[in-house]
Amino acid sequence: SQGYDYTVKNNGLENIIAMTGSCGECAEAAEDKRDVAILVKSDLFGSGNDELGAILMKSFMYALTELSTNISHLIFMNGGVRLTTEGSPVLEHLQVLEESGVEILSCGTCLD
């Protein structure tokens, strides 16, 4: 259990596992660990309505700045690289993420 307690509840569709407790060594290791990378392949979030997709992407990037998850990398490819260029509506959010230690990577071929 490594210092954690857990409960399992079944709501008829799925098992829900809740963990509680603390482990000093585990907490310290988790604080220093950045293990989440996010691949962004489009400047829109989802498909269908482009205007809504742009709004959702801006909201998503803002939400990333508010997360306590330790994101290590944001990787932009294909149409997603447009979010990293001048005039992008999410540059402010990307700057906040970069200042917090997130590495922002853009596909050089995609920028051409």
Tokens of 80: 């997603």
Query: What is the pTM assigned to this prediction?
Result: 0.68
pLDDT at 2: 58
The residue among 100, 37, 109 whose CA lies nearest residue 74 is: 37
Percent residues over pLDDT 90 in the chain: 56
Number of Cα atoms under 13 Å in the Cβ half of residue 13: 0
**pLDDT at position 5:** 74
User: What digits encode the pLDDT tens for the residues 45-58?
Assistant: 998 999 999 999 99
The backbone region for 101, taken as left when phi is positive above 0, alpha when psi lies in -120 to 50, beta otherwise, is left
Rg (CA), the chain: 18
**Cβ neighbours for 84, distance < 8 A, ≥ 6 positions apart:** 76, 91, 94, 104, 106
The CATH number of 34-111 is 3.40.1260.10
What are the residue ranges of CATH 3.40.1260.10 in the chain?
34-111
Alpha carbon distance, N-terminus to C-terminus of the chain? 51
Collapsed DSSP state (helix, strand, coil) of residue 112: coil
